């Protein structure tokens, strides 16, 4: 009996002819060209069109331009204060009002990017200083959880805050793997890639605002479990020390600004700054504002709370400027309108 193999019929495969090869080659070229064209169009739209239709993106780009101008105006201006932070600063500060309030004492420039935390601003300021931006004072507004956090805004910050030399150290400190690190590099060079999540959220907010609000609400209500108090203070001290050393390296004064809150945890941030002999402003300590001054999330200030905070911050900053000569630059805490020297 013959094996089934010996009985099998030979299988012939058809070889594409010249015409078929030309068709395949042409289709491949068209596909590659189409992908490149769509990619180029998306990149151009992200760089130039998106800031024109998105209020948030337009504001951030405007802040970037004002910060970049500090490099040339800092030498001529007696005092330039750069205020950096996230939505706590954005919602809590009446920017035009504090500029007006401080006009006779200092030029105030704001740089706010929502959802940023300590690592974003540490490496962001490192890049700004290395690029020649020289404010006389940097005011960093973050709460305790954001100060000790190892989270980062990632791709968006890579495009808008970091230089290429900051990417690997940032990835290391944030505990990123190789995939996330390579994503940072790509986002640094591509506006569309860096902004893809922002663009998606923009479209979602326009097309399905109810669904978008529900998703934002879920994210806002997620609470992180914090470690014991002593561990928080120790980590906050380490972060503040690093920020202080960075600012000192470039001859910039650092102020840690504590945003108002309905919890007492941020008092630990004040303690950490005092232990590191770093300037800290606590214009509205715990208990100064009630729930009526906050939004429904009990986290961000509403318009009423922002008016009170802006006024208190302006008083604190003016008091600090007035006291600089008398204290010979020693770091101190300003709590409301009271000035206490560190011992």
User: Is pTM, for the whole model, over 0.75?
Assistant: yes
User: What pLDDT, on the 0 to 100 scale, is given for residue 326?
Assistant: 44
For β-strands 80-85 and 137-141, DSSP reports them as parallel
Answer yes or no: are the C-beta atoms of 204 and 211 closer than 8 Å: yes
The alpha carbon torsion through 107, 113, 114, 119 (nearest 10 deg) reads -110
User: What pLDDT, on the 0 to 100 scale, is given for residue 85?
Assistant: 97
User: What pLDDT, on the 0 to 100 scale, is given for residue 329?
Assistant: 42
Class of domain 54-149+224-341: alpha beta
Domain residue limits, the chain? 54-149+224-341
CA 235 to CA 229: how far, in whole Å? 10
Q: Which regions of 74-223 does DSSP assign to beta strands (E)? A: 80-85, 107-112, 137-141
User: What pLDDT, on the 0 to 100 scale, is given for residue 218?
Assistant: 54
User: What pLDDT, on the 0 to 100 scale, is given for residue 24?
Assistant: 85
Side-chain-side CA neighbours of 24 within 13 Å: the count stands at 6
pLDDT in tens, the chain (343 residues): 455 555 555 555 556 667 778 888 888 888 899 888 888 888 888 888 888 888 999 999 999 999 999 975 444 456 899 999 999 999 999 999 999 999 988 999 999 999 999 999 999 999 999 999 999 999 999 999 999 999 999 999 999 999 999 999 999 999 999 999 999 999 999 998 888 888 888 787 778 776 556 655 555 555 567 788 899 999 999 999 999 999 999 999 999 999 999 988 899 999 999 999 999 999 999 889 999 999 998 999 999 999 999 999 999 999 988 877 544 444 444 444 333 332 3
CA angle, residues 315, 321, 324, in degrees to nearest 5: 135
């Amino acid at each position: 009996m013959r094996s089934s193999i010996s009985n099998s019929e030979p299988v012939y495969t058809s070889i594409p002819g010249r015409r078929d090869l030309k068709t395949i080659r042409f289709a491949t070229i068209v596909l590659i060209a189409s992908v490149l064209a769509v990619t180029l169009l998306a990149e151009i739209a992200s760089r130039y069109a998106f800031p024109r239709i998105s209020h948030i993106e337009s504001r951030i780009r405007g802040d970037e331009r004002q910060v970049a101008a500090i490099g040339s105006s800092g030498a001529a201006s007696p005092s330039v204060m750069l205020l950096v932070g996230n939505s706590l600063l954005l919602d809590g500060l009446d920017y035009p009002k504090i500029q007006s309030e401080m006009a006779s004492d200092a030029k105030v420039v704001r740089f706010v990017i929502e959802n940023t935390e300590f690592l974003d601003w540490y490496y962001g300021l490192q890049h700004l200083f290395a690029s020649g931006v020289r404010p006389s004072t940097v005011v960093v507004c973050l709460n305790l959880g954001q100060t000790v956090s190892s989270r980062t805004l990632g791709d968006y910050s890579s495009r808008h805050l970091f230089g290429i030399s900051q990417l690997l150290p940032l990835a290391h400190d944030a505990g990123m793997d190789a995939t996330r690190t390579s994503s940072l590099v790509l986002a640094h060079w591509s506006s569309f890639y860096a902004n893809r999540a922002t663009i998606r959220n923009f479209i979602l907010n326009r097309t399905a605002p109810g669904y978008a609000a529900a998703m934002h609400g879920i994210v806002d209500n997620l609470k992180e479990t914090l470690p014991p108090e002593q561990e928080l203070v120790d980590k906050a001290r380490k972060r503040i020390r690093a920020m202080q050393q960075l600012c000192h390296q470039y001859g910039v004064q650092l102020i840690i600004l504590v945003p108002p809150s309905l919890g007492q945890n941020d008092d630990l941030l004040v303690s950490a700054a005092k232990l590191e002999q770093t300037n800290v402003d606590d214009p509205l300590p715990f208990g100064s504002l009630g729930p009526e001054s906050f939004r429904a999330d009990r986290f961000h200030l509403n318009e009423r709370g922002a008016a009170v905070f802006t006024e208190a911050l302006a008083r604190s900053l003016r008091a600090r400027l007035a006291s600089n000569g008398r204290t010979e630059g020693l770091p101190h805490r300003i709590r409301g309108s009271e000035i206490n020297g560190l011992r």
